[in-house]
Amino acid sequence: MTEAGKIILAAPRSGQGCVLFEVENQGEAVACSVSRAAIQDASGCRTGLPGALLAQFVHMQDRIMLAALQKLRSRSAVTGVLHIWSSDLEEEPMAPVQAAAPGVPS
């Protein structure tokens, strides 16, 4: 994950039908949540076992974080919790663009 966007100190945790997590954007922590349905739809796996939702989140963490950052950056301001829904995970998010090293064609 890029320096501009990463999960910070607070560990992902289960909420009421969601997983709560934080991303860092331009030095500021942004509270986020991803719904149980979004995780299950994107992973294709539905289970009610304890801990399964967090395990699915960890497996999809990079994809979810990229979707959160893209959604965050597409808005002029975010107040409160940034919610990630199934529609936010329908397509693989684009990876952050990285500049080519000097002398290396892009």
* All residues at 6 or more sequence positions from 8 whose CB lies less than 8 Å from its CB, including other chains: 22, 23, 24, 29
pLDDT of 61 strictly over 90: yes
Q: Are 78 and 69 in contact (CB under 8 A)?
A: no
Whether the pLDDT of residue 99 is over 50: the answer is no
What CATH number is given to the structural domain containing 56?
A: 3.30.160.140
Number of domains in the chain: 1
Q: Tokens 């739809």 map to which residue?
A: 41
What is the rounded distance in angstroms from the CA atom of residue 73 to the CA atom of residue 80? Answer: 15
Question: Which residue segment(s) compose the domain that 77 sits in?
Answer: 13-88
Residue 79, in any domain of the structure: yes
- pLDDT confidence of 27, banded at 50, 70, 90? confident
Cβ–Cβ under 8 Å, residues 20 and 64: no
- Asked if residue 71 is part of any domain, the answer here is yes
Question: pLDDT band at 105, cuts 50/70/90?
Answer: very low
- The answer to whether residue 99 sits within a structural domain is no
Total-model pTM = 0.75
- Residue 18, classified by CB atoms within 10 Å of its CB into exposed (0-12), middle (13-18) or buried (19+), is buried
pLDDT tens-digit readout, 82-94: 999 999 998 765 6
Residue 101 has pLDDT above 70, yes or no: no
In a domain, 40, yes or no: yes
Residue appearing with tokens 């299950």: 40
| Residue 45 resides in a domain | yes
The answer as to whether 31 is a domain residue is yes
Res 80 pLDDT > 60: yes
